[in-house]
Every structure is written in structure tokens, then in C-alpha cells.
Amino acid sequence: MTDIKTQFDPILRNLLKNKNKIAIIPIGSIEQHGPHLPISTDSDIVSKVAKKLSDKNDYLLLPTITYGNSFEHAPFFNLSIKESTLRAILIDLCTSLLENNIKTIFIINGHHGNLKSIKDIDLKIRKKLKNKVKVFSLSYWHFMDKDFDHAGFVETSLMLAISKNVKMKLAKKGLITDKMTKQEIIKIGKLANKSFPKATKNGIWGDPTKATKKDGIKILNEIVQNLSKKCQTYLTEDSL
Ligand SMILES: [Zn+2]
């Protein structure tokens, strides 16, 4: 059993009494992903990654926090919560997990704009909860070979692998960085953090037109494999 929201109180309390269980909190976003991917894309992908990671390692999967920090996508559609709000939710949830005897927590992030909220969150939570919990935060795109994009080849392939809610006929090329220097990419990245539409024009970073389900499955498996290894390394290296 991994998906905690489908479970029943007596079973859970019994399980948590005896075992040193590990929980996963996935965090995503609700924001524009071009005309071909749904606004739930980040939340959909991170939910799938977290589910596979939980299944593989027998971790407890918490419901995804589907709202994130996506103000940079305005005036394109986004439903956003403040950086401090997301941080506060995570701290509250970890406190509640500890009260339920869950002391090891992985926060798995699926949206770039959430990075500020999770920066040093492990230290903040450990301090608040007097070192009674271990918290690790990981962003899934650090565990694949390809460069992260936004509604480009990677995200579109991943969505083709996990969802039927993709309109490939509407997929259009966005910002292509292949011929840019490192410095130019850093500069446009900074602009994208302030205004994603200004940096990319059409809200897409990358080229989704050649995305395939096959590539998506390959990338997904690669991410889960590498993330899983990293989680296991953290668990063996870090003992309170
Ligand atoms: Zn995305």
C-alpha cells in the first residue's frame, strides 16, 4: 500500500505504530502549458513520478499539493500561492506527519517556480521540530539526462506517457536555446523567472512537436530509477 488517501484509519494507525515509515509529499503547479498540454501538467507529472517512487520503495504517498508558485506566467493562466504560503503548508504537513509517527519525508518537486519555497526547507523543519524528522527535497528534473523544458519535448513526452489529455495537433515550437551561449541562456532564464511570456513569447520553452510516448516512458523510468537511488543514499547516509 502506498497511496495514503485511499486508506482507512485503523489500518494506518496500526501500520504506523510498528514501522518506521517514509512519506512522500509531491508538489506541482496549476499554470499554462501552451495550447497542447493541460494546466495540471506539472502536478500530473510529479504525481506519477512520486507514485512510481512510492511503489518501488514502499513509501507512503501523500496527496499532491497541486498549487504552486506560478505568478511568472501571468497574463497567461495560472492559479498561484505565495512562496511563503507553500513553505508554510509544507512545514505544517511535516509537523502533522511527525505527530502521526512518520519521521522521514521526501518532498518531490515538479515545478521550477517552487524552488524558492523549498530552499533550505529541510534545515528549517529540522530546527522547528527539534531534529525529530528527516526531510529531503528533490526536484525530479535533476534526475534525467535531458534538459528541463516547459511544455517542450520532455514535458510533452512525459505527458504522452501518462495522460490522454494532450492535443499534439496544437503543439508549437517555443523558445529554442540550442544556438545560444551559456550566458544568453542564463539571461533569458532570469527573464523567464520574472515573465515567462516575455522570455518565450508563446509560453513554451523548447520544441514539443517531436515528442513521443515512447520517449516519455524512457524518461519517466530514468527519473524514477535515479531518484530512487538518491533517496536510498540519503537514507543510509543520514541518521539522526
Ligand atoms: Zn511544467
Distance 149 CA to ligand 1 centre (A): 7
Domain residue limits at 226:
4-237
What CATH number is given to the structural domain containing 154? 3.40.50.10310
Distance 64 CA to ligand 1 centre (A): 15
Q: What is the pLDDT of residues 20-45, one digit of tens each?
A: 889 999 999 999 999 999 999 999 99
* Cα–Cα distance measured from residue 141 to residue 118, given in angstroms and rounded to the nearest whole number: 15
Distance 12 CA to ligand 1 centre (A): 33
Length of the chain: 240
- pLDDT above 70 coverage of the chain, percent: 98
Distance 67 CA to ligand 1 centre (A): 12
Distance 165 CA to ligand 1 centre (A): 14
Tell me what the pLDDT averaged over the chain comes to: 95
Distance 101 CA to ligand 1 centre (A): 33
Total of domains in the chain: 1
Give the HSE-up count for residue 115: Cα atoms under 13 Å, Cβ half-sphere. Answer: 7
* Cα–Cα distance measured from residue 95 to residue 118, given in angstroms and rounded to the nearest whole number: 15
Q: Where are the alpha helices (DSSP H) in 21-69?
A: 41-57
Tell me what pLDDT residue 20 has.
81
